[in-house]
């Protein structure tokens, strides 16, 4: 009992404390829920910290600008990456890089080449103008005495003015931004000269109490004159030899104005690095101008006329000499290239040129060579002994002359073998066999690809005749009207064969062969087939054939009819017939080769 009474009293504080904690947590969630969410996000951000691209992109431009203002460490670290990116871009897209720099490099290259060519031509013209004159001889003597080059002496005596050096100087610091020199001028410490000009400027300005905008405009030192053009941030100084014209001032002013217009930011932020002004060289080169004294006319008009006549005579003689030499060379080359002609020696006799040597009768006439080359025939004589040339060209010409092939036959030569191909008549082919071996240099004749057109026609007509047949009625040995109509066409075919045999010089035989059907006895069928063949032979015999002989042959039952028995209702009409076989001996050389 004591224990049961203590249990409720002991559990009541515990239940009250848990309920109170839950209520407090709920109250805290209601009052501090937004702040709690923010604290959870901050805790997660600190525990899982990472840089986000969007946040970095918002501060990156300002960060790069501020870092670049502090020192050059950012620039030094970006140089390798930039170089590798540029190299990769050039490999992957060379056309893009070329298109990007072409508008810059193209005009610069053209301008530099144009200026170099102009200076070279100007110097060359000056040197050539005085090279062969009396004044030029005096100047050559002066160059030899002084040890200078002839071009330098000509330049000294003919120069009116020339801008030899141009300095671009930063006005505030007095440092040299860029410097160029004319060709042939040697530099003598550009930095020292720049500092000297700046010091002189400052001395003059302080001595005469001038403002910063005012300054020294010209300075003369011996043969040299220094013209200075002032700008807001830079000074342009030109070292000039001779007496420059006033318009040169306009050129210098225009140049310093263009530099300020294009490089104003670089001039204001200049800290001692002059690499940003390397491209000003193109503008400074426009200031390197020069002007020379024109050579006065010295020789009288009569001297020029005499010189012109002399040059005309020399030109006329040179032209005719060159023309004659050209004709002579062309004649020798033509003779050398002509097959069947060999020149052993050339000599002069009484003002004429005599060619001695050998000539094949089929070679071209030497007088034709003179006409082709335009050489005068009256001044050239040929004494050429006849001989047979065995060169391939001459063998080929001789073969064409002897064989006289028709247009349908092609002739070629392989070594000592003559090859004939195409279509020719039987008479011409027979003549070829006799004539070909009489051609010097020909050992054999290949006629495998040569077709006898007469023999080809004979075979065609022969096949036409052998395809003809005359059919008879059972038990009869004479032809009906409809079969007799074929006889006239057969006679014409046989007559054609006889005419062709005359051309081919052969004597073929035409076998008139008769057959009968299997019906009846063997003796009856044999006799009947012979009578049918003789009947057709009698119809053809009056033709008066000259080369063909006719022979009637009875062979009894047609073998084709014995090979197969007729079906019910079928007859042997096609076996009761007469047909023709043409037998001939081979034509001489028919297989086409020798």
Contacts of 176 (CB under 8 A, 6+ apart): 167, 168, 169, 170, 190, 191, 194, 274
Residue 3 CA neighbour count, 13 Å, CB half: 0
Is residue 513 within 8 A of residue 553, CB to CB? The reply is yes
CATH number, domain with residue 504: 3.30.1330.60
In sequence order, what are the residues at sequence separation of 6 or more whose Cβ sits closer than 8 angstroms to the Cβ of residue 422?
405, 406, 408, 409, 410, 449, 450, 451
Would residue 348 count as lying in a domain? no
Q: Are residues 496 and 533 in the same domain?
A: yes
Q: Are residues 414 and 512 in the same domain?
A: no
Looking at the fold, whether 132 and 229 belong to one and the same domain comes out as yes
Q: Which of 419, 454, 489 is the last residue of a domain?
A: 454
* Residue 193 covered by a domain: yes
| pLDDT score for 569 | 45
Those residues of the chain that have pLDDT short of 50 are 1-16, 121, 567-571, 591-594
Q: Are 147 and 270 part of one and the same domain?
A: yes
- What pLDDT score was predicted for residue 457? 92
Provide the domain limits for residue 152.
Answer: 119-292
Mind listing the pLDDT tens digit for each residue in 424-455?
Answer: 888 888 888 878 778 888 888 888 888 888 88
Residue at 461 is within a domain: no
What is the dihedral sign for C-alpha 518, 524, 526, 530?
negative
- Strand (E) or helix (H) holding 434: helix 426-435
Question: What is the number of alpha carbons within 13 Å of residue 276 lying toward its C-beta?
Answer: 14
417 and 559 share one domain? no
Burial class (CB in 10 A: 0-12, 13-18, 19+), 44: exposed
Give burial (CB, 10 Å; 0-12/13-18/19+) of 356.
middle
Decide: 539 and 487 in contact? Cβ < 8 Å.
Answer: yes
CATH number for the domain including 198?
A: 3.30.450.70
| HSE toward the beta carbon, residue 367, CA cutoff 13 A | 2
Using alpha carbons, list the distances in angstroms from residue 400 to 362, 404, 431, 445: 11, 5, 13, 13
> Does residue 330 fall inside a structural domain?
no
Q: Which of 292, 319, 344 lies at the terminal end of a domain, its last residue?
A: 292
User: In this structure, are 261 and 398 located in the same domain?
Assistant: no
- What pLDDT score was predicted for residue 4? 40
Query: Phi first, then psi: what are they for 168, rounded to 5°?
Result: -110, 115
Same domain, 549 and 436: no
Say how many domains are in the chain: 4
For residues 269 and 207, membership in a common domain is answered with: yes
pLDDT of 461 reads: 92
* Residue 385 backbone phi and psi in degrees, to 5: -85, 145
Contacts of 241 (CB under 8 A, 6+ apart): 159, 161, 162, 164, 223, 224, 225
* Contact of 205 with 176, CB cutoff 8 Å: no
DSSP conformation class of 330? H
Rg (CA), the chain: 59
- 256 and 125 belong to one structural domain: yes
pLDDT tens profile 79-128: 778 777 777 777 777 766 666 665 555 555 555 555 555 555 455 555 55
Spatial distance between the Cα atoms of 512 and 470, rounded to a whole number of angstroms:
11
Strands (DSSP E) along 73-214, which ranges?
159-170, 176-181
Query: Residue 338 and residue 89: Cα distance in Å, rounded?
Result: 64
Residue 379 falls within a domain, yes or no?
A: no
Q: How far apart are the first and last CA of the chain?
A: 152
Q: What is the pLDDT of residue 460?
A: 92
Q: Is residue 313 a part of any domain in this protein?
A: no
- Are both 473 and 513 inside the same structural domain? yes
| Residues 428 and 550 both lie in one domain | no
Sheet with 409-414, side-by-side order of all strands = 409-414, 417-424, 444-452
Pairing of strands 352-359, 380-386: parallel
Domain membership of residue 110 (yes or no) is no
Question: Are the C-beta atoms of 496 and 461 separated by less than 8 Å?
Answer: yes
- Give 389's contacts (C-beta < 8 A, 6+ positions apart): 339, 340, 342, 360, 362, 363
447 occurs within a structural domain: yes
What 8-state DSSP symbol labels residue 364? P
CA 338 → CA 402, 424, 442, distances in Å?
21, 32, 21
Q: Where among 454, 487, 504 does a domain terminate?
A: 454
Q: What is the pLDDT of residue 359?
A: 84
| Cβ-proximal residues to 172 (8 Å cutoff; 6+ apart), any chain | 233, 270
CATH code for position 405: 3.30.1340.30
User: Do residues 124 and 254 both lie within one domain?
Assistant: yes
The token pair at 93 is 């897209």
Residue 352 DSSP class: E
d(CA 520, CA 475): 9
Q: 154, 115, 429: which is closest to 292 by C-alpha?
A: 154
With tokens 């003796």, the residue in question is 523
């Amino acid at each position: 009992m004591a224990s049961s009474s203590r249990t409720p009293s002991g559990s009541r504080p515990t239940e009250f404390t848990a309920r109170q904690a839950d209520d407090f947590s709920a109250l805290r969630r209601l009052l501090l829920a937004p702040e709690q969410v923010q604290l959870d996000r901050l805790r997660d951000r600190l525990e899982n910290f990472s840089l986000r691209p969007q946040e970095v992109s918002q501060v990156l431009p300002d960060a790069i600008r501020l870092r670049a203002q502090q020192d050059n460490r950012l620039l030094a670290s970006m140089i390798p990456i930039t170089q590798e990116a540029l190299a990769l871009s050039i490999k992957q897209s060379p056309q893009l890089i070329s298109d990007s720099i072409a508008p810059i490099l193209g005009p610069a290259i053209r301008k530099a080449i144009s200026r170099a060519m102009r200076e070279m031509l100007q110097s060359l013209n000056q040197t050539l103008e005085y090279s062969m004159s009396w004044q030029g001889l005096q100047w050559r003597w002066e160059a030899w005495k002084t040890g200078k080059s002839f071009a330098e002496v000509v330049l000294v005596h003919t120069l009116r003015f020339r801008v030899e050096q141009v300095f671009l100087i930063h006005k505030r610091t007095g440092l040299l931004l860029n410097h160029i020199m004319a060709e042939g001028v040697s530099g003598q410490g550009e930095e020292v000269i720049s500092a000297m000009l700046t010091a002189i400027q400052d001395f003059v300005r302080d001595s005469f109490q001038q403002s910063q905008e005012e300054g020294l405009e010209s300075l003369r030192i011996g043969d040299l004159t220094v013209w200075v053009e002032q700008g807001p941030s830079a000074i342009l100084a030109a070292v000039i030899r001779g007496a420059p014209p006033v318009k040169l001032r306009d050129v210098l002013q225009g140049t310093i104005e263009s530099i300020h217009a294009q490089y104003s930011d670089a001039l204001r932020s200049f800290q001692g690095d002059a690499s940003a002004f390397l491209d000003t060289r193109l503008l400074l080169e426009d200031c390197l101008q020069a002007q020379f004294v024109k050579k006065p006319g010295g020789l009288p008009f009569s001297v020029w006329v005499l010189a012109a006549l002399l040059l005309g005579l020399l030109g006329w003689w040179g032209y005719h000499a060159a023309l004659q030499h050209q004709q002579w060379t062309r004649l020798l080359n033509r003779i050398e290239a002509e097959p069947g002609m060999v020149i052993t020696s050339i000599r002069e006799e009484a003002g004429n040129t005599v060619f001695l040597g050998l000539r094949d009768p089929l070679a071209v006439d030497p007088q034709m060579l003179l006409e082709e080359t335009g050489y005068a025939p009256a001044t050239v004589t040929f004494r050429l002994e006849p001989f047979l040339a065995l060169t391939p060209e001459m063998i080929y010409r001789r073969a064409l002359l002897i064989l006289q092939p028709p247009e349908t036959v092609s002739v070629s030569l392989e070594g000592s073998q003559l090859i004939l191909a195409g279509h020719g008549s039987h008479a011409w082919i027979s003549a070829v066999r006799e004539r070909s071996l009489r051609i010097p240099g020909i050992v054999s004749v290949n006629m495998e690809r040569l077709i006898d057109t007469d023999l080809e026609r004979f075979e065609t007509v022969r096949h036409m005749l052998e395809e003809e047949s005359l059919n008879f009625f059972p038990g009869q040995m004479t032809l009906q009207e409809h079969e007799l109509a074929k006889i006239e066409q057969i006679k014409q075919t046989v007559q054609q064969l006889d005419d062709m045999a005359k051309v081919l010089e052969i004597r073929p035989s035409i076998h008139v062969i008769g057959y009968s059907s299997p019906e009846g006895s063997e003796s009856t069928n044999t006799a009947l087939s012979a009578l049918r063949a003789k009947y057709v032979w009698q119809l053809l015999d009056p033709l008066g054939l000259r080369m063909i002989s006719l022979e009637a042959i009875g062979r009894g039952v047609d073998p084709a009819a014995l090979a197969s028995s007729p079906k019910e209702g079928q007859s042997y009409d096609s076996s009761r017939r007469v047909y023709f076989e043409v037998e001939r001996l081979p034509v001489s050389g028919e297989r086409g080769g020798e």
